Amino acid sequence: MDERTITEITEGVIGETLTWQVRMTDAEGKEHVHVFPQETLAWRAAEYGIDPADTDTLLDIILHEPFLPDLAVPAAAATDPAARAGLNASTLASKRSAAVEPVQLHNAPSTSVAREAHQLRIAGVKRHTRIRIPEGKGKEDPRGEIRGRGVDPGRVAELAECVAALKRQARGEAVQLTTRALPPIGMAAEETHGA
């Protein structure tokens, strides 16, 4: 298992997007940097109905997402932890396709089902795949910067409205999206540097 330890979290700006830059080292001493827009925390809270005050859960999800399998690949979809737990969107699948579709944010019957499926996939990554990030202790925990900044519940509510509209649109309903809820286009990336 590739265990990484967070060593530092700093703010950055890419274009006009405020970012968090999370530096981690692995057991071999290689440094890995995960960069994501700061608003990603609010988006995950809105998308999956997670308490915006629970920044540890939000950060844990975001840091493990790069390691999720691509469910568009049939082999990955066949071994999906959420599907093995009985969560699939076969009842929502297009009549044009007999394939079982993995439950994801856009096709889940509810936010709680989408959250459960996403958390099962994150747990699968943490158990069987490449990364586990141990918690730090007290003032030495570099996640304190993100915890201290928090996530604006008002912004989460705006984004939740946008997510609900996008889900209706995915079902084929006519939807008018307000640009107020849409964020500026950001970026998320992971860079790896040798130590």
Higher pLDDT, 172 or 50: 50
pLDDT confidence of residue 188: 44
At 115, the pLDDT band (50, 70, 90 cuts) reads very high
Higher pLDDT, 179 or 55: 55
Q: Is the pLDDT of residue 150 over 80?
A: yes
Which tokens belong to 105? 């944010």
Helices (H), the chain: 40-48, 55-64, 74-78, 81-84, 111-128, 144-149, 153-170
Please tell me the distance from the alpha carbon of residue 57 to that of residue 17, in angstroms, as a whole number: 22
User: Which of 32-41, 94-103, 113-122, 150-159 is least confident?
Assistant: 94-103
Cα dihedral 125, 128, 130, 134, rounded to 10, equals: 80
**pTM of the full structure:** 0.80
Instruction: Quick: pLDDT tens for 49-75.
Output: 999 999 989 999 999 999 898 988 888
Please tell me the distance from the alpha carbon of residue 66 to that of residue 74, in angstroms, as a whole number: 18
Contacts of 153 (CB under 8 A, 6+ apart): 52, 53
pLDDT confidence of residue 176: 74
Cα Rg, the chain, nearest whole Å: 18
Query: Which 8-state DSSP code applies to residue 65?
Result: G
Please tell me the distance from the alpha carbon of residue 147 to that of residue 159, in angstroms, as a whole number: 20
